[in-house]
Amino acid sequence: MGLEAAGWKAEFCNDKDPKKFEMYKANFGKRGYRVADIWDLTASQIPNVDLWWASFPCTDVSLAGYRKGLAGSQSGTLMAMLNLLREKDAQRPPLVVLENVTGFVSSHRGDDFDEAIRELNGMGYVCDAFILDAIHFVPQSRARVFIVGVHRRCPTEDVCGALTMRDHHLKIKQLTTFMTEKRDLDWLILNIPAPPRTSSRLSDFLERLGPTSKRWWSDERLEYLLNQMFDRHRAVIDVLKGRPTVSYGTVYRRMRNNKSMAEVRVDGTAGCLRTPRGGSSRQILLAIGRGTVRARFMTPREYARLMGAPSYRIRVTDNQAYFGFGDAVCVPAVTWIGENILNPLVAETPQGVREYVSAAT
């Protein structure tokens, strides 16, 4: 959805989870989708296109995972994608984009990130890397690192100087340090504009459920949640509870000192949407004010809206929808990348007059 809004056409998609295909099919039919383990694919099964986009599992490189890195069974699927790209040889696409959590930059002290860039360099791609947070487009805190590989271009000579000019929203210290210190890697520092600012608030994206909706939790369940909070978080709720208007906050349960704690956010922005693991990663919504506090899990439709896909057809169970949206990339963030980075790069090549075509895995 994000790429097509920027003028591209998706020709091939791959994921091994049939439940994700159910979500896809309800919106796009079977178009170009292959349900298969990427390790079982061959390069000949992937059409010759202008862009490969790979969003690979973050499980082994995130703080919430086991930090196995690219040697892990899930994040290691990136290597399967790179093997397929290598097999394409003369038919490699002009552009490659990789996306993952910002923890990918520091995974195994940067070795995993280094390996990914080095593999792309070895296939003739010079690379840029930047941070883009969904918060610039929707009220969700969702920072991600994006690597853009451009085939057969001259690398940037003054990487440090070029990065100094980059907008601060597009970089973090670990990434800038990595790129300036790894001088043996081929970097192409692109001219990327500053991301936009959004005035949208979490309350604008919520479904208006009546007080009798079965989604609202019982008083007992609510009290259990409140008792899991730090005193400072509970104090904030107490203040908001006494106000004449209703405020909305979000809650995630996290392990702190081997104890499950409920952490509250009331700044008008949702925390990063995740895939549910045992139910604890589903984001909880609080409605606070007028002397009451109510709690419920966010709905799949609210997840869709916060991922920038408000009209997405949802014909699966809540948990399937949570998994699908929790693994997705924010739609308007992808559109912004397409319009401001990918389209100008294609326009600079002889193939730029063609219709843009992409392959996503």
Confidence of residue 353 (pLDDT cuts 50, 70, 90): very low
Residue-wise pLDDT tens digits, 175-234: 999 999 999 999 999 999 999 999 999 999 999 999 999 999 999 999 999 999 999 999
pLDDT tens sequence across 38-51: 999 999 999 999 99
Query: Residue 108: pLDDT band by 50, 70, 90 thresholds?
Result: confident
Q: Is 114's pLDDT higher than 80? A: yes
Q: How confident is the model at residue 359 (pLDDT cuts 50, 70, 90)?
A: low
pLDDT > 90: percent of the chain: 82
Q: pLDDT grade, residue 58 (50/70/90)?
A: low
Q: Which residue has the higher pLDDT, 142 or 257?
A: 142
Is residue 68 a contact partner of residue 108, using CB atoms and an 8 Å limit? no
Assign 244 a pLDDT band (cuts: 50, 70, 90): very high
State the burial class of residue 104 (Cβ atoms within 10 Å of its Cβ: 0-12, 13-18, 19+). buried
pLDDT-derived band of residue 63, with 50, 70 and 90 as boundaries? very low
Over the chain, what is the mean pLDDT? 91
Q: What pLDDT does 57 receive?
A: 74
Cβ 253 vs Cβ 278: under 8 Å: no
One-letter identity of residue 58: C
* Cα four-point dihedral sign 153, 75, 29, 272: negative
Q: What is the CA radius of gyration of the chain?
A: 22
Confidence of residue 73 (pLDDT cuts 50, 70, 90): very low
In sequence order, the 6+-apart residues with CB closer than 8 A to the CB of 56 are 74, 75, 77, 78, 81, 98, 100, 361
Q: Which two tokens stand for residue 120?
A: 């792309």
pLDDT of residue 93: 97
Q: How far is CA 59 from CA 13, 26, 147, 263, in A?
A: 21, 27, 18, 22
Least reliable range by pLDDT among 217-221, 235-239, 351-355: 351-355
User: Where does the pLDDT of residue 258 fall: very low under 50, low under 70, confident under 90, or very high at 90 and above?
Assistant: confident
How distant, in Å, are the alpha carbons of 5, 193, 205 from that of 339? 9, 11, 25
Strands in 247-256's sheet, in edge-to-edge order, are: 259-265, 247-256, 284-289, 292-297
- Give the pLDDT of residue 352: 46
Indicate the pTM of the whole model.
Answer: 0.91
At residue 277, the pLDDT reads 67
Summarize pLDDT for 288-344 with one digit per residue, the tens: 999 999 999 999 999 999 999 999 999 999 999 999 999 999 999 999 999 999 999
Query: In the prediction, which pLDDT does 309 show?
Result: 98
In the structure, what pLDDT confidence band is assigned to residue 69 with cuts at 50, 70 and 90? very low
The CATH number given to 4-198+322-360 is: 3.40.50.150
Asked if pLDDT for residue 82 goes beyond 50, the answer is yes
Q: Please, is 127 exposed, middle or buried when counting C-beta atoms within 10 Å of its C-beta (0-12, 13-18, 19+)?
A: buried
pLDDT at 253: 86
Is a pLDDT exceeding 70 seen at residue 60?
no
Closest to 78 in 3D by CA, of 107, 109, 49, 48: 107
Of 43, 44, 70, which is closest to residue 58 (Cα–Cα)?
70
Sign of the alpha-carbon dihedral angle for 216, 220, 221, 226: positive
272/90 Cα distance (integer angstroms): 39
Q: For the chain, what are the domain ranges? A: 4-198+322-360, 208-298
Q: Mean pLDDT across the stretch 344-353? A: 72
pLDDT tens digits, 259-291:
889 999 999 999 999 988 655 578 999 999 999
Measured distance CA(131)–CA(194) in Å, rounded: 11
The 3-state secondary structure of the chain, one letter per residue: CCCHHHCEEEEEEEECCHHHHHHHHHHHCCCCEEECCHHHCCHHHCCCCCEEEEECCCCCCCCCCCCCHHHCCCCCHHHHHHHHHHHHHHHCCCEEEEEEECHHHHHHHHHHHHHHHHHHHHCCEEEEEEEEEHHHCCCECCEEEEEEEEECCCCCCCHHHHHHCCCHHHCCHHHHHHHHHCCCCCECCCCCCCCCCCCCCHHHHCCCCCCCCCCCCCHHHHHHHHCCECHHHHHHHHHHHCCCCCEEEEEEEEEECCEEEEEEECCCCECCCCCCCCCCCCCEEEEEECCEEEEEECCHHHHHHHCCCCCCCCCCCHHHHHHHHHCCCCHHHHHHHHHHHHHHHHHCCHHHHCCEEEEEC
Chain centroid to Cα 172, Å, comes to 16
